[in-house]
Each structure stands twice: as C-alpha cells, then as structure tokens.
Amino acid sequence: MTIRRQYSLPNCTLVLEGLSDGSVASQLEIRPVLSILMSAECYLSGLTEPLTGGRDFFESLVRVVSGYAQEFMSGVHYPDRYDPDSALVQLHRIDGNLHRLTILAGQSESGTQIDQKTQPSAEIDLTTVQLFDLVEAIDQFFADSQTLPELSLQLTPVSKRYIKSAAPVAQRVLPAAVGVSSLALAAMAFFLVPLPEVQRPREPVRQSNGTGQNIGTPNPGAGTPNPNPTPAAEGLLPDDRTQSAISPAPSQSQTPGETPSPTSSPISTANASPSVTPTPVAEGLQEAAVGVPITDPAKIELLNGKLREEIDGVLKTKAPVERELVYRVSVANDGAIVGYKLQNSPTVDGMGEALFSELLYKPVGTRPPAEPLADFRVVFVPGSSVQVSPW
Amino acid sequence: MRISHARDPASPYSLFGIDVAVIVMPSETSLAESNPLILDSLPDLSPSDGGCPRRARLQIDLMLLAIEALYLGGAEEMLAVSKELELAGIIKNRVALWLLRNTNPLRRYTQRRPLTALEAKALVAIACNLARKLTATIRQLLLDSQQLRSRNLPFNQHLPLAEYLERFRAHFRSRMNPKRSVVAAYDSDEKLDELALNLLSKLLFCTGTAGMQRFWVSLFDGEVE
C-alpha cells in the first residue's frame, strides 16, 4: 500500500509518497515506516505546478536547502558546501531577501520514479520567509523517524581551511606588510633621534663623614698652614688619618711640579671648606691662578649658566642683600665651585658667605690637582637678581 | 589496652571517610546535573577549549539584542526562560547574563573572559526559545518588510516595523563601542535597519524544528579545523 506523508507550512507543502519495506514489524505499526520513496512533491506558493521528482531530486533538494540555510545563518559562503555542479537543485542568493531556487532537468532519474515526464528546468525566487518554510518542511521531514529514516539532518560547520584558501592573497598579506613597514618607520624615527649627551655624574657629596672629622678634631690643616700635609687623610679612613699624622708623608697630595707648600693643595682647601673660614678661599683662587684657566668660550658660557642656576637656586631661600657685593668665583671643569672671594669689601658679608659655603664643592674623593678652572664675577645687586659674567 | 588499640586506629579513618564523602558527593552530582538536557542536542564544536570564536560571541549577543528590540522586557524574559529551561546553574543572575553577553567584542564594556561552550549553548537555547515564542511577530514583521520593499516604501510607514527598527538602533548605539571599526561602519539608520532585518530573518530560522541546532552549528562555520 502507498504511504503518503505531508509536511505543511504556510508557503510550502512537501508531499512524499512511497512504500514501506513490507517487513512484518513495519506493517504492524500504526504509522509504518516509509522506506521506499516513489515521488516527492514540493508545493511552493507562487508556483502553480509543484516541483516533483524522484529520490535523486528529493535528496538533492534536502541537501542543498539545508546547506543553504546554514550559509544564510552564518554568512559564510562556501561554494563547495553542497557540490552544486552535480546537484539537481540549486539555490543562489540574489540579495539579503531573495533566494533563487533552480531545478535542473533530471538526467539521472531513477527507475523508482513514477512521474516519468521529465521535469523542465524550473526557476523560482523565494523570499526569506518562503525559504524558511521550505527549510522547516525539510526539517520536519528529518525529524520524522518514520519516513526515510536513513536520511537525517547532518549539520557540520565548514572547515577553517576552505575559508582561508578562499580569502585573496592580498588580503592575507596586508596585515604582515603593514606590520613590517611600521617597524621600519619606527626604526627610521629612532635613527633620527639624537644620541643623549652623557653627563658626568656629580660625585656624591658624603660630607657628614669629613665634616664631622674636621670639626670634631682640632685639625691644624684646616685653617693654619701646617708643614705636615694632613690633608693626605682626605678620603681615607680615620685610622689612616692618624697614621698619616704620625708619619708625615706629604707625597700623597702633593701637586706635581708645585712647591711643597701645603697651602697650595686644592684638596686641602676643599677638605677644609665646611668649617667656614675665609682663608681657604684665597687658596682656591690662588690655585686657580696657578692652574690652567679654561679658555674655551663655549665651555665658559656653559659654566656661567650652570653657576648662575646654582646661585639662583640657593638665593631664593636667602634674605636680600643690603649693598652691592662682588665676588670672584672659581669653577672647575664640571661646574663645581672650588673657591670664592669677596672683592669690593674688606669685611665679610654674612649673606654671601652663607650662600657660597652652601654651594662650595665638598670633596670626598680626590680632585685632580691643578685642574683647569674658570673665574666668574658674581655681583649681587640689592633689590634685583644676581649677575654672573666671566671674570 | 586491647580495646583502645582496636578502636583508636579505626575511628579517625572512618570519620574522615564520612566527612570526605559528605563534602565531595554533592558537588559532583551538582556538576553532573548542571548540564541540562536541552543542551545535549547541541554538539561540541569549540575548536579548542579556549572558548567560543569571536563571531559566535558577536552573533549570539546581536540575536539577543534583536529579541530585546522585538519585545519590551526581553532582558527580564531571558532570565525567566533560563530558569524555565533549567539553565539557572549556568546563568545565575542578571549580572552573570550581562557578563556573558559582554563577551561580545563590540560591546562598550566588553569582557576579556572567554565564553565557554556550555555558556554559549545556554545563551543559544534562550535565544531560540524566545524566538519560538515570538514566531508570529517575527513572521509578520518579515512579511511586512517584504511588502514595503516590493512597493519601494520606507520602513517607517509601518508602525510595528518602525518601532522594532527604532528600538534596535537605540539598543545598538547605546551598547556597542563606536570606536570599533565594525560598529563605526553602521553609521546610518539604513545600515542599522538592514542589520536589524537580517537578524530578524535569522531569528525566524531559529524558530524552526531544528532551529537551535542550525543556529548553533552556523556559529562555527569556518571556525573549526
């Protein structure tokens, strides 16, 4: 007996006719299994004649429509999803809302087909809702385990490999090209950036040690000229200092080629400076006269600015001067103030002294003897800023 | 002495054994139960266990956004449906749902956490369940839009459709990060309307018999090995 199965949707009705395989078990069932398909009819709204065909047509229809539905949902187009060349049914996207269903004339119609008149090639444009009804009719057929149970819904996502190969080479190369070229641009930009100028780090001022020593012990080398050059202890440990005091070894701090007068040693000057006395200032200046003066105008200008900055920085915290003060200041190559002297007044001015004693270089290591120095005229004008100019 | 010997070693072990059993067993059973039956129909497709691909996270959230535009109170309804489908173990509360939806890379407050396969399946189940409840509305709006298109009439001629499109545009603009190029591309009402209608037709496919499986598998097209 013929079994008829119908799946009805508003825009699409799918009618399948066939036979059960005749086994006893299937005949006993209320709803026997349709296992041999004789004809399939697909009624679509807008189409007067149904699409009909045999098993080949029906299998092609379900496979193509199911695959197309997946493509519609994912937006991933993969032409080989349902080998369109060999299929009797084709679906093409026209735009987002229209889908063209094409039925090709069946060449390989199987013998089971009852309707032998060959179906001419048919073409119909389905709206999305019509397409959905067609998909739904097919899904209902798939869900029906009593109709062609060997056909079931096979949903598998398309492999990444096919999609990648579909992307044009230019599109794939573009990100890499952008990356490489931006790296090159960055390298060029860095090439144009000037090298940072290496500045000699200021020697750390470890004054607490030396100052304590000087103040705590009545060091004769500080103020008064001493035949024993105790400044040799400068930078050494206290033990060494005592040793050196016991055994006068003047060689350490002697400036080469100079008179062995201990007063001429710049180290002694610097060492003594924390205990503020005006005497060593003269020594520093004297040394400056003895040492090679700095002649490079650019260097002098640089030191000039540096000195001015240093004085300005300290001056802010000081009270303004009452009268004009002119100082002669000796500055070493690295901008360290190694000596100063008040020029226009015989009396010592409190403000200037306090200022320069703060700025004066307090050595911890050894300064090179007879290093080149530059002299500057520093003028404090009452009610205005400080003026610094080369001597 | 004998009695104490016999009892001492035995008692701590048995106590320990009971304690362990009491503590461990419930968590194991609850883990097994937290995979609801409805999700079993969805195959495991995640390429690696590092969570769902970017397009899947984006697409799920957009579909939910379209549902919200279709139906006022859609966000509340999502929580209700998650309880109904026994997915409350995966989506515990409003904040959890918000965090899951914010795995969409286009969101303003996009989360860097991955969306696990289980969480994605739960969201897909909720979206499809709601879509099925809204089948009549979705169908009608699509048919109406088709008619308007064929007559070259603007969409705002039709009140229900205009409302849907307007709500979708508002949701999209308020929640997506305009700095992302994908979002910036939707710079006109027309483009957003196209997106809204496209999502609407995808929602229609979710309403079908195999809609949930179809939606789920489509999320991984071109993402698997």
Verify whether the Cβ–Cβ distance A155 to B213 is below 8 Å. yes
Look up the domain containing B191 and give its range.
52-218
pLDDT digits (tens, 9 = 90+) for B81-140: 998 888 888 888 889 999 999 999 999 988 888 888 889 999 999 999 999 999 999 999
Q: Is the dihedral of CA B218, B221, B223, B225 positive or negative?
A: positive
Residue B136 CA to its chain's centroid (Å): 21
Highest mean pLDDT among A96-100, B30-34, B44-48: A96-100
pLDDT digits (tens, 9 = 90+) for A130-181: 999 999 999 999 998 888 888 888 888 887 777 665 556 777 788 899 999 9
Residue A356 has pLDDT above 80, yes or no: no
* Residue B73 φ/ψ region, left for φ over 0, alpha for ψ in the -120 to 50 degree band, beta for the rest: left
Between A255 and B185, the higher pLDDT residue: B185
Residue B4 has pLDDT above 90, yes or no: no
Mutate to test the interface with A, among B59, B201, B219 (most CBs of A within 10 A): B201
**Structural domain includes residue B182:** yes
Closest CA to B94 of B102, B86, B105: B102
DSSP codes joined into one string, A278-317: SHHHHHHHHHHHHSPBP--HHHHHHHHHHHHHHHHHHHTT
In sequence order, what are the beta bridge partners of A100? Answer: A92, A125
**Structural domain includes residue B173:** yes
**DSSP assigned state of A347:** S
Give this complex's ipTM: 0.81
Nearest to A128 among B194, B201, B214 (CB): B201
Other Cβ atoms within 10 Å of A342 Cβ, number: 19
The interface residues of chain A toward chain B in range 129-148, judged by CB-CB distance below 8 A, are 129, 132, 135-136, 139-140, 142-143
pLDDT digits (tens, 9 = 90+) for B166-176: 999 999 999 99
Question: What pLDDT does residue A114 have?
Answer: 41
pTM for the structure as a whole: 0.58
Mutate to test the interface with B, among A127, A133, A134, A151 (most CBs of B within 10 A): A127
Query: Which residues from B are below 8 Å from A135, CB to CB?
Result: 205, 208
Distance to chain B for A129, nearest Cα, Å: 7
* Residue B133 φ/ψ region, left for φ over 0, alpha for ψ in the -120 to 50 degree band, beta for the rest: alpha
Name the 3-class secondary structure at B217: helix
Mean local confidence (pLDDT), B49-71: 89
Question: What pLDDT does residue A182 have?
Answer: 94
DSSP codes joined into one string, A159-179: BHHHHHHHS-HHHHHHHHHHH
Q: Which residue of A has its CA nearest to B206?
A: A73
Give the number of domains in chain B. Answer: 1
Residue A245 has pLDDT above 70, yes or no: no
Verify whether the Cβ–Cβ distance A159 to B222 is below 8 Å. yes
